[in-house]
Amino acid sequence: VEPSPYTLDNAAPEAAQRFVSLSALFDPVTVRNLDGTGVSEGWRCLEVGTGGGSITRWLAGRVGATGHVLATDLDLNKFSADLPNVEARQHDIASDPLPEAEFDLVHARLVLIHVPERAQALRRMVAALRPGGWLAIEDFDMRLVATRAEDRTPADQLVNKVTAAFTVVLESRGAHSAYGRQLPRLLRESGLVDIAAEGHLPVFPGGSPGAQLHRANIEQTRDQLIATGLVTGGDIDRFLPVMADPDLILNLSMLMAVRGRRPTGGESPATAPA
Ligand SMILES: C[S@@+](CC[C@H](N)C(=O)[O-])C[C@H]1O[C@@H](n2cnc3c(N)ncnc32)[C@H](O)[C@@H]1O
């Protein structure tokens, strides 16, 4: 079997916790971003890298029986949305064909950061929009806030050390750790208008969904983390229970939520907000 090009492969048992945590932490942020597009009854939507499907299910409810959601992922084994207006398709956004000028809304959360061919993927997602259609993306910037805890106690320092190694592992597999902050510019350079962007930084105690997400990420990449030489197996063994300590205060990376609209042709670029 070919190894997945995606570091945090959905076949792993930790993926189930990842999707529960991402939904708890970020669905409200994504829904706010999507609400800004005006998505409503009858819209045709594409959700790229749907994962567990929480946002696909939300979109399906919003667009109703006259709308449609195409949900794609490299690996759909943790996806569920058995709904008449949802079609799920195994699909690699880097290389598989996409219809052009088809969708009122194209959305991806925490996908492009992992895709080495992200520039090409973004171009194809923009081309998939009908004129006037919206692109909405949420992605991390792992460098804008590079630590996960204060630098006060040994537990904080351990968390920050393991996190630094995790960033190195993701980068070595083609992730772009400073991608989030580039998104407003990339959308503008893609010719989109009405661009809006905000950063969201969840802060939470040990034991909460954010801590469980971080624990799942570290467990899934344990061998790769040790191979960096930056952490030992002992560091990881000490790190895992720390994620359940309610005294610890942690943060995730900054999630940048960005959207923009493909012009219909009537707009003047000079008056379009940046
Ligand atoms: C961190 S998860 C995010 C899942 C979901 N969007 C969410 O926010 O809950 C990344 C997802 O992108 C998918 N993915 C990674 N590379 C991909 C690619 N080249 N094409 C399509 N999906 C991809 C993964 O399989 C995984 O389901």
Position 128 scores a pLDDT of 98
According to DSSP H, which parts of 173-208 are helical?
A: 183-189
Ligand 1 pocket, residue 53 CB under 6 Å: no
Residue 273 pLDDT greater than 70, yes or no: no
- Of residues 270 and 74, which shows the higher confidence score? 74
Residue 208 pLDDT greater than 50, yes or no: yes
The protein residue whose alpha carbon is closest to atom 14 in ligand 1 is 49
Position 99 scores a pLDDT of 95
Task: Report percent pLDDT > 90 for the chain.
Answer: 91
- Closest ligand 1 atom number to CA of residue 78: 27
Task: Give the angle subtended at the CA of 108 by the CAs of 264 and 101, to the nearest 5°.
Answer: 30
Whole-angstrom distance, CA of residue 159 vs CA of residue 238: 10
Ligand 1 pocket, residue 12 CB under 6 Å: no
**pLDDT tens-digit readout, 38-60:** 999 999 999 999 999 999 999 99
Residue 271 pLDDT greater than 50, yes or no: no
Ligand 1 pocket, residue 176 CB under 6 Å: no
Ligand 1 pocket, residue 24 CB under 6 Å: no
Give the gyration radius of the chain's Cα atoms. Answer: 19
> What's the whole-number mean pLDDT along residues 234-260?
96
Whole-angstrom distance, CA of residue 45 vs CA of residue 67: 8
> What's the whole-number mean pLDDT along residues 244-268?
92
> What's the whole-number mean pLDDT along residues 201-221?
96
Most informative mutation of 19, 26, 27, 73 for ligand 1 (most atoms within 8 A of CB): 73
Per-residue tokens: 268: 């003047």
Most informative mutation of 48, 72, 107, 111 for ligand 1 (most atoms within 8 A of CB): 111
- Closest ligand 1 atom number to CA of residue 95: 19
Per-residue tokens: 147: 């630590």
The protein residue whose alpha carbon is closest to atom 5 in ligand 1 is 51
Reported confidence tier of residue 272, pLDDT bands at 50, 70, 90: very low
Ligand 1 pocket, residue 184 CB under 6 Å: no
Reported confidence tier of residue 147, pLDDT bands at 50, 70, 90: confident
The protein residue whose alpha carbon is closest to atom 8 in ligand 1 is 109
Position 269 scores a pLDDT of 54
Which segment of 34-43, 50-59, 142-151, 160-169 scores lowest on mean pLDDT?
142-151
Residue 207 pLDDT greater than 90, yes or no: yes
Position 3 scores a pLDDT of 66
Residue 15 pLDDT greater than 90, yes or no: yes
Task: Report percent pLDDT > 70 for the chain.
Answer: 96
Q: Which residue shows structure tokens 């893609």? A: 190
Position 146 scores a pLDDT of 84
Position 4 scores a pLDDT of 77
For residue 46, what are the CA distances in angstroms to 74, 126, 271? 14, 11, 29
Which amino acid appears at position 71 of this protein? A
